[in-house]
Each structure stands twice: as C-alpha cells, then as structure tokens.
Structure 1
Amino acid sequence: MVESIIQAAVGLGVIISLLFSELLGASAGGIVVPGYIAMYLDRPMQILGTIVVSLLTWGIIRLISNFTLLFGKRRMVLSILVGFILGWASRLLVYQNVTVYTYQLQSIGYIIPGLIANWFERQGFWKTITSLGVAAVLVRLILMVVFKGEL
C-alpha cells in the first residue's frame, strides 16, 4: 500500500509540475519534487530542513559561480552534488542529536534539495517556493481523495 501511494504521489507530482510549467510558466522546484514534498506535509520540520539545505546549496552555487562559469548541465550537476552532500550532512547532525528537533530537521531525500536550489537560481526563491507549496498541497489533496485519507 505504501509503495503504491509513493508511486501515485510522484506520478501526480510530475503531472501537476508539468501543468504548472505549461500553464503558469513556473516550475515547482523540479518535476518530481512536488510529489515527494506532498508525502511529507505532515512533517513540517523535514520540509523546513529541506528548504534550509536548498538555500545553503543555492548560496554555495552562487559563491562558486563568482569564480567559474556555471550554467546549464554544470550548474544542475553541481547543485545536485552540493545538495546531496549537505543533505547527507543534515542526516549526520540529526543522527548525533545536535539539533533541537531530533530526527525531524533533516532534508527529504538526497537529490531534492539540489533540484530545488537549481530552480531557486533559475526562477528565484519566491516563485519556486510558492509554486512548490501549491503543487505539493494539490498532490496531497488528490492523494487523500484517491486513497480515502489513508496516507
């Protein structure tokens, strides 16, 4: 049951993300991101952890871009790599009980923060965050209807 919910969330996230991109001209942080965020809407500290890691990743990418040419695939790969490392570090810090909210203030996955950071760079923070928030809530609402509240 859990596996089918995750598959449905990612699939719906892709569809809604494509609709947002085509109809509104705004990306929701990457094509698979809304589905994953929708699965964690009941864990706001993990969403906050993901946004913090994404912002740190974005800052590091902007700093690196002052010294080198970063665009296209290079920026995307570097965003994912830096996001992966910072997401992994957030899990280590939580594992050692350094944070106040043990086990909750960590990033969602390893790739998601890098994808979000890449879209922060491409279309800006507010446009990405608002599109992501609306898309994730829509995915979650549809999942609640389809699975009759069994999330």
Structure 2
Amino acid sequence: MDLLTLAIGIGLFVSLAFAEFFGIAAGGLVVPGYIALQLHRPLNILMTLSLGGLTFGFGRLVSGVTILYGKRKTAFLLLTGFLLGALVQEFLHRNHLVFSAFSPTLSDSEEARVVGHIIPGLIALWMDRQGIWETICVLLTGSVIVRLALIVILGGDFQP
C-alpha cells in the first residue's frame, strides 16, 4: 500500500475518533494524514497553517461585506486556500535560490512547499467552525498520532 494512502486512512480513523470522543475536528478528515507526512519539515507545516489562518481571515473579511455561509462559505474558503497556496508555491519556486541562501539545510530537491492543494482551505474552514487554537492543537495532536501509528506499522526505519 502506498504511504500517502495509508497515512490518510489512519488520519481518517484518528479524525473520526477525535470527533466522536471529544466533539472537535482535526482540521478536516484527511488533513492529519497529510500533515503527519510533513512533520519532519516544520517550515512546510508553518506555511500551511499560516495560509489556513490567512484564508480564514480573508473569509471573515469577505463575510462582513457579503452573504457568505453554508456551501458558499465552504467553497469560498477551499477556493481561496487553493489560490493562495498556488500563489505562494509559485513565489517560493521562483525564488528558491534566494531562500536557499538563508537556509543552507534546504537542498535543491527539497524546496519549501505548502502541504496539499486544499489543506489550507480545510484548515480555514475548521478554524471558522470551531476556533483557531482548537483546530491547530487538535490538528497537530492528530498528526503526531498518525505519524506514530505509521512508525509502528511500518517499522523503525520509516522514511516519508
């Protein structure tokens, strides 16, 4: 089985467990699986969470001017997160040499990136529904649990 598929499957289980036992979501059902595979790259996680927060803030700003709720809000946040992620990814890709000068540990094949395409939008959606800190804390906790489960299942030499 492919590593991403396994991580998402375990993440689904962990997300559902958090929702059932604690009544709080881990930023969307698939998000902990994606984040778990990036725990060794904290810059990627920080960028993704920051984009989620920026998307959330932009959604709040637009909500004050227009009617934005339900499916419309969900689609708006997912699309905004996707577009912001694509813009940031393009900017990082074009300026990789500039950023690698500041971070000598970054190799040419390992440029900083946003995790997933819709992950920032899903994070923003759950920040809006249940709160910023609740979402971040449960997301990171769930991701660590998924990562630990992957290590147990795949053995000690697990490399994402």
TM-score, length-normalised on structure 2?
A: 0.88
Out of 104, 108, 121, the position equivalent to 2:115 is: 108
Q: Which residue of 1 aligns with 2:77?
A: 79
RMSD: 1.3
Q: In structure 1, what is the equivalent of residue 154 of structure 2?
A: 147
Determine the structure 2 residue equivalent to 1:21. Answer: 19
**Distance in 1 (alpha carbons) for counterparts of 2:88 and 2:151:** 30
Which residue in the other structure is 2:125 paired with?
Answer: 118
Alignment of 1:62-77 (within 5 A): 62-77=60-75
CA–CA separation in structure 2 for the residues paired with 1:20 and 1:74: 26
Give the whole-Å Cα distance in 1 for the aligned partners of 2:151 and 2:54.
Answer: 32
Deviation, structure 1 residue 23: 0.5
2:42 maps to what in 1?
44
For the pair shown, the structure with the greater C-alpha radius of gyration is 2
- Paired position in structure 1 for 2:5: 7
- Taking only the aligned residue pairs, the percentage that are identical comes to 44
How many pairs does the alignment contain? 148
Q: Any unmatched runs of 5+ in structure 1?
A: none
Instruction: Give 2:4's aligned amino acid.
Output: I
Q: For residue 71 of structure 1, report the CA deviation from its aligned partner.
A: 1.4
Post-superposition, which runs of at least 4 consecutive aligned residues in structure 1 deviate over 6 A?
Answer: none
TM-score by length of 1: 0.93
